[in-house]
Amino acid sequence: METNIIYTHKKLVENSKAGDRNSQYQLYELYVNAMFNVSIRMVGSKEDAEDVIQESFIEAFRKLNSFRYESTFGSWLKRIVINKSINHLKLKKIPITPLDHYEYQISEVTNQEAPVLDINKIKKGIKLLPDGYSQIITLYLIEGYDHIEISEILGITISTSKSQYHRAKKKLIAIVNTL
Amino acid sequence: MDNFEKYIQKNKDQFDEHKVDHLKIWNQIETELETPKTISLFRKFSIVKVAATLLILIGAFSIVRFYKISEINFNSEKMIVNQELRDIDVYYKNLVSFQVQLVQKNTKLLPEEKKEFLSFMDELDEEYNTLKKEMTQNLNNEYILEAIINNYKKRIELIENLLKQINTPQNSNDNEGYIL
């Protein structure tokens, strides 16, 4: 079963490797919206996300021969998009891990109430999170990376990833509960 | 994983709320993929950079080599001059010391006369030392070498003249003896 998932769109991928522009376009159509949303959640701006998507697809098609079905094509492509988004944030000097002063604010919300389970409020709350917190919440809860993968993506230790995630989550709950 | 986390994961599809202008971005991607000129330009630029680097390296190497060769030539020239100087020195030094000994051993000269003559020799010795110093400072070596030789010649000439003067009256007396 897992093998089948890994080989999803194999024909399109193989034709794209051979340089077939039509297959490349079909792959692009299948993934562009998902990747655009991944990027916009990371960089926070539509224009920046468009740049990231464009660069990511160009790189993906150029490096497609290095794709060996060790994961799904979507996961492989998403990792490119995430890395490009992180690089974009670094270029813009936006912190990808939270600043220390937020830690002090977190201590004020330690004994918080049960979180409000409202997806619209949560979406709004994530957007209100400081830079760094929104990225780690996105990577863990929405993109589905574990702390080992997040540590690699952000260039931090696994324990830092865990502690930052917990702080971010507390902050998010505090924000959502006020909305 | 708590309920909050589970809730978000369950509803993560709802975060995909943005739509993108497919064709606009694809056109840009296609243009970029069809024109690998950026790569070839980059490669050309790289080639130019490599060529320029090589040229600079060759240039630098040539300059260093030129100076090294000049230095070697200069050093070998210096060695030849030094050798020449040593040869001349040995030859004339032996000649002068031999003649000075002749003067010193000469019984017909008074000690004062000997002293006066040898002090004159010392003056020429001083001049010789100055010339030798100048030689190490690499001034006009040929000219200085000539001056050193002249210095030696002058000393030899003076000694020869002196010895001649000492011996001449004795010879004339002998001749007179025979005439008589």
Choose from B11, B20, B31 for mutation: most chain A CBs within 10 A: B20
Domain boundary among A25, A59, A91: A91
Q: How many domains does chain A have?
A: 2
Taking residue A41's Cβ as centre, other Cβ atoms within 10 Å add up to: 25
Which DSSP category does A116 fall into? P
Q: Where are the domains of chain B?
A: 31-170
Domain boundary among A37, A64, A91: A91
Contact at CB, B4 and A61, closer than 8 angstroms: no
Which of A33, A154, A141 is CA-nearest to residue A83?
A154
CA separation for the pair B79, B65 (Å, rounded): 20
Tell me, what CATH number does A156's domain have?
1.10.10.10
Does residue A25 lie within any of the structural domains? yes
Q: How far is A167 from chain B (nearest CA, A)?
A: 14
Q: Does A29 touch chain B (CB under 8 A)?
A: yes
Q: Are residues A10 and A86 in the same domain?
A: yes
Domain boundary among A62, A91, A120: A91
Query: Which chain B residues in 31-60 lie under 8 Å from chain A, judged by CB atoms?
Result: 32-33
Tell me, what CATH number does A83's domain have?
1.10.1740.10
Contact at CB, B33 and A115, closer than 8 angstroms: no
**ipTM greater than cut 0.90:** no
The single-letter code of the amino acid at B71 is: E
Query: Which chain A residues in 78-107 lie under 8 Å from chain B, judged by CB atoms?
Result: none
Residue A38 parent element (H or E): helix A21-43
Q: What is the pLDDT along chain B (180 residues), one digit of tens a residue?
A: 788 888 888 888 888 888 888 888 998 898 888 875 554 555 556 677 788 888 888 888 888 888 887 777 767 766 776 777 777 778 777 878 887 787 777 777 778 877 877 787 788 888 888 877 777 676 567 777 788 788 888 888 888 888 787 777 555 454 544 444
The domain in which residue A173 lies consists of 101-178
